[in-house]
Amino acid sequence: MSLRKHTERFRDWRQGLSGWLYRHSWQLAAVLALALLTIGGYALWPRPGEPVVSPAAISAQDVEAAQERTVIVYVSGAVRHPGLYTLGSTLRVSDAIVAAGGLLADADPACLPNLAAHVKDASQVAVPLIGHCTKAKKTKVDINAATREQLLQVAGIDAALADAIIRYREDFGGFVALTELKSAMGLDTNTYKELAKSLTVN
């Protein structure tokens, strides 16, 4: 048989094979997939005597313990990066401030939260600016010791009332009770109640 005939027969055989593969491509794909599944199942199927390893189960106690080890706090006010921070439950307020970038230059050093306190979940660490301290209690003015200028700084006391208070102290040696502002000075009830918020007798 000549080389040409061999070449033609090989070309015909190749074309026939390609056509058959094309017509039966889905059957071949199915057989290949089934073979892969069979091999995989055999490899994963537990052998006799081999322990079956199951995924580790996480108990509710483990989850609760993990949650207790961290807390979320909100750091606000005069810090570089205010926001929510997740911290270890053993850390302190000072660590929360450090996590927020530290204090700004205009943070009020006299009105900081307790830096040694442990952080608590869902709590706020507020760092006030200078002049914005809300926890500082307003000191009441002692009407027996205050100067005229100090009395005039009290809301509701004008020059005439300040002079009357000083004159009463000179004449009677001072106030025994704050209610003398009503009985001796003739203040009405509403004015007395407002002044009583800022005045005291020592």
Tokens of 26: 């889905």
Q: Is residue 117 part of a domain?
A: yes
CA distance 104 to 96: 14
- Could you list the residue range(s) of the whole structural domain that residue 188 is in? 141-200
Q: Is residue 135 part of a domain?
A: no
pLDDT (0 to 100) of residue 162 = 93
- pLDDT, tens digit only, all 202 positions of the chain: 555 665 666 566 555 555 554 455 555 555 565 666 677 656 666 555 555 545 456 666 765 665 668 999 999 999 999 999 999 999 999 999 999 999 999 998 888 899 988 999 999 999 999 888 876 556 889 999 999 999 998 988 999 999 999 999 999 999 999 999 888 888 888 999 999 999 999 8
The answer to whether the CB of 160 falls within 8 A of the CB of 185 is no
Do both 121 and 152 map to the same domain? no
Tokens of 172: 């009677």
Do both 155 and 109 map to the same domain? no
The answer to whether the CB of 74 falls within 8 A of the CB of 104 is no
Do both 123 and 150 map to the same domain? no
Do both 70 and 120 map to the same domain? yes
Q: Is residue 54 part of a domain?
A: no
Q: Is residue 134 part of a domain?
A: no
Do both 85 and 34 map to the same domain? no
Do both 74 and 20 map to the same domain? no
Do both 118 and 149 map to the same domain? no
In the chain, the number of structural domains is 3
Q: Is residue 52 part of a domain?
A: no
Do both 152 and 195 map to the same domain? yes
pLDDT (0 to 100) of residue 42 = 61
The answer to whether the CB of 162 falls within 8 A of the CB of 172 is no
